């Protein structure tokens, strides 16, 4: 059955609106306890820096403790750190309170199993089936206990530091680190500084409301100005929960997830350590596919969403995949997308080769790609609308086999994503704007008829 609440990356929404309410969080914790920790055990709960994180943390804690499950509270910690710590501390379940790259008005809840992997569709369905039940409250002698383990971030810092080649460090590198005023604001600068780098922090002063606000991987303009302004070698921009990363070279040019994937894949190929194909998504730039082809590396496209990339990696025996947004999976390193792990691998390659990020990324030529997000009242499948399908066919004929069109409904936001890719940037932009207008008009018609 289809899940009503779980999307492509957990449950997410506007705070105060179903499902992001205290009542729902309490019922969700109780439902998850029934399905995944019916005989007790321990759950780890981490969060980002949103003001609403406090209330959802308290509600989830109450639901789990009442159901007889012990709770460990980490405070602000990146999503991938919670995944790692869940496995490291042998917890039954890991929970993250975060809406990732969204602004502070939103929040979300996502789960990891005891191995630090995201839950299967089947487990999410089983949890949803329990949401209508009255939350458990066990007898006093059977209640769980809760305690804070803020110092646990040191374990994650050590885990990240081990990514660098043995005996090497980041000495001699000046790095601007932008943590999006989010979950990585403590651990990221410390990891880089402990590795010997000179650090210039921005987006590291959260106040509960400024997460992802004009900073981080979704808004890297300030980073692009700062890196050449302070004469840094490189810049790193994480998103609010630390599972995405984009970087900036010494000239202030953005290096996105496709380019980072190429840099890591090329280095692994040269070292003879790359296993299986590289997996991208339908939104990955065609230039990545061409660059990997020149290296003799197979490239596979998956639907958008890290769980789809992960599924293709497991099916194909691959270890490396990711999305243009900077959500990179390095399965030889960890179980989920981790912005810091990705950045540290790139920094390690820079140190080993003595080459700048600009030089490393130059092996991949990006083709012009325009993405337009069309806001809609409700998400729908654009491929089922005849007027949109007709417009797609018309534009495909115009591109004459020298480009791609991707239309899809976002799994996390009420938008239809319109992507057009081709050889000529002006033509691509015109096609994207034309198609976006058709989608916008169709959405308005659909809204008026409901």
Residues taking part in catalysis? 100
User: In 3D, which of 172, 170, 232, 241 has the Cα closest to residue 201?
Assistant: 232
Q: CA-based Rg of the chain, rounded to a whole angstrom? A: 22
User: How many whole angstroms from its chain centre is CA 380?
Assistant: 23
Query: Distance between the two ends of the chain, CA-based, in angstroms?
Result: 25
Rounded to whole angstroms, the Cα distance separating 153 from 130 reads 33
Q: Are 176 and 223 a contacting pair, CB within 8 Å?
A: yes
The set of residues, in sequence order, having a beta carbon less than 8 Å from that of 177 and lying 6+ positions away, is 188, 189, 192, 199, 200, 201, 202, 204, 235, 236, 238
Helix (H) or strand (E) holding 346: helix 339-353
CA contacts within 13 A on the Cβ side of 202: 22
Helix axes 257-271, 339-353, angle to 10 degrees: 50
User: In 3D, which of 206, 199, 198 has the Cα closest to residue 180?
Assistant: 206
């Amino acid at each position: 059955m289809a899940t009503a609440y779980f999307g492509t990356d957990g449950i997410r929404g506007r705070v105060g609106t179903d499902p992001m309410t205290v009542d729902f969080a309490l019922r969700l914790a109780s439902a998850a306890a029934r399905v995944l920790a019916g005989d007790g055990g321990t759950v780890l709960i981490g969060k980002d820096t949103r003001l609403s994180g406090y209330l959802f943390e308290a509600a989830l804690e109450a639901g789990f403790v009442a159901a007889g499950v012990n709770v460990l509270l980490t405070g602000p910690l990146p999503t991938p750190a919670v995944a790692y710590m869940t496995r490291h501390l042998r917890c039954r379940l890991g929970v993250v309170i975060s809406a990732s790259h969204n602004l502070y008005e939103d929040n979300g809840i996502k789960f990891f199993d005891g191995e630090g992997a995201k839950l299967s569709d089947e487990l999410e369905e089983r949890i949803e089936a329990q949401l209508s039940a009255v939350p458990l409250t066990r007898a006093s002698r059977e209640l769980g206990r809760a305690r804070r383990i803020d110092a646990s971030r040191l374990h994650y810092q050590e885990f990240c530091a081990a990514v660098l080649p043995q005996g090497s460090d980041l000495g001699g590198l000046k790095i601007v680190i932008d943590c999006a005023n989010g979950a990585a604001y403590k651990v990221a600068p410390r990891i880089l500084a402990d590795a010997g780098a000179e650090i210039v922090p921005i987006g590291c002063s959260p106040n509960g409301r400024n997460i992802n606000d004009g900073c981080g991987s979704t808004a890297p303009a300030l980073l692009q100005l700062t890196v050449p302004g302070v004469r840094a070698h490189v810049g790193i921009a994480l998103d609010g929960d630390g599972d995405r990363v984009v970087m900036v070279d010494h000239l202030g040019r953005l290096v996105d997830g496709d380019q980072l994937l190429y840099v890591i894949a090329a280095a692994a190929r040269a070292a003879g350590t790359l296993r299986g194909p590289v997996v991208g998504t339908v939104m990955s730039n065609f230039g990545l596919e061409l660059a990997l082809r020149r290296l003799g590396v197979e490239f596979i496209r998956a639907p958008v969403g890290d769980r789809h990339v992960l599924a293709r990696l497991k099916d194909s025996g691959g270890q490396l995949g990711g999305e243009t947004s900077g959500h990179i999976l390095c399965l030889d390193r960890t179980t989920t997308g981790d912005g810091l792990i990705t950045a540290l691998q790139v920094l390690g390659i820079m140190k080993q080769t003595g080459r700048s990020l600009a030089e490393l990324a130059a092996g991949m030529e990006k083709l012009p790609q325009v993405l337009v997000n069309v806001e809609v009242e409700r998400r729908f499948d654009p491929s089922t609308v005849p007027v949109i399908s007709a417009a797609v066919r018309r534009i495909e004929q115009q591109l004459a086999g020298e480009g791609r069109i991707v239309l899809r409904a976002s799994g996390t936001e009420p938008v239809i994503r319109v992507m057009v890719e081709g050889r000529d940037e002006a033509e691509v932009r015109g096609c994207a704007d034309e198609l976006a207008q058709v989608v916008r008009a169709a959405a308005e018609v659909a809204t008026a008829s409901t």
